[in-house]
Chains A and B, each alone.
Chain A
Amino acid sequence: MITLGWLYTLGGAMFAAYAVLSARDRLNPRRWGNAAFWGLLSLSFLGGHMLGDIGNGVLVLCLVGLAGFGAIGRGAPETTNDAEREAHSRRLGNRLFLPALIIPATAFFGTLAYNYTPFGQSGLFDPKWVTLILLGTGALAAVAVTMVWLKPPAIAPLQEGRRLIDSIGWAVVLPQMLAALGAVFALAGVGDIIGALAGHAIPEGNRFVAVAIYALGMALFTMIMGNAFAAFPVMAAAIGVPLLIKGYGGDAAVIGAVGMLAGFCGTLMTPMAANFNIVPAALLDLKDRNGVIKAQIGTALPLLACNLLLIYFLAFR
């Protein structure tokens, strides 16, 4: 069976190649920093399951040290310039989209086929990770097709991949680091403390205020944790279940579903949700690290107000 481990091996091999290519990139004054960073990440993907918790912790500290003290630069892999790209684009026309569409098409049709045809009974993929595994498969297929069709130098996919990964830089591991911070918050009981504080803040007998603190608390706590999944159990325990459901007799399905979505409004407004807000800013070469968040606040705030009212009116019909 193809599992997530297969995808980790692929990722580990890719980061290992970036490490080697970085070390040989004399145009990057910080080439050893880059080589060490991608090399450690490669180790994590290939052998993370064998390092043990402390071993992985030390690996994390090394990554943070390299990034935090400016040891990482941006490589200068050989690629085409704008004029060449314009010429290629004109020569190749819209056929150029086809390899790009292989990835989403593989993920889309593959997932449908796996879920709704006998192909799913083959047990080829780990059912929990079907789409992600298909995404990796599609990426490999798209590289193969492009190599056969356009015949670039054999090293080109790895050099181009390195160009993009270097443009994201250390932010590549920020989402994983924030997830790790969330785990330490959970260990230290930060959620329980915040839940208790939120519980104290509610005056008795005012249903609207209770709903408001539940919805706004979901958004605010999500902003702190960077993840609505961490906020939900806390706010459910502090307000959702004891007050809104058991106290005022609200509809649990509405309180759960819309409460979670109020949290998602918080996700749109925080740098802690790095994979949605910070990494794309790097990936799109935005000058303002918070540019994506700024574009989202105008949607998130009115939608948060809507969610608050939805809970108030729909949960207590």
Chain B
Amino acid sequence: MAKFPSVRWFDAVREVFNGDESVQGGGGGYCNCIAGMKVGKDVFVLTFEGVECTEAVKADDAALDDVDFYLDMAPADWREMISNIHSNNGADRHHTLNTLDLEREDGLATSHHGDQYREDLFFRYNQTFQYFFNASARIRTDF
């Protein structure tokens, strides 16, 4: 059981994601970027290298200056997404990252630097990020 949000939770998801070779095909594969996760006031930074998520660390707002993009949702919205993923063994069609992004006025994925080339990595590796969060269906989450 890992509490969301926490480094322990992201590490547990990383372990499932990194150990599942099936997510390296079917539109997954190389993913090289640094992605921020903003859960209310909590900030986490995930590093993706090659076919793995190599690191998850707790950080602060200033760290978001350096990430390629970050996903920003209120804790309740994160909880809804993760619960949905758990219930359906993967996000249903109303809770995919892209859908959540487009349904929000300012989007789910954003950045401090405003460089669209770097923000576009959210689209370029979208299937990988979806695989990553879908992997959370295979751990027990406590909120």
Tell whether A pairs with B.
no
Instruction: List chain B positions with a Cβ less than 8 A from chain A.
Output: none
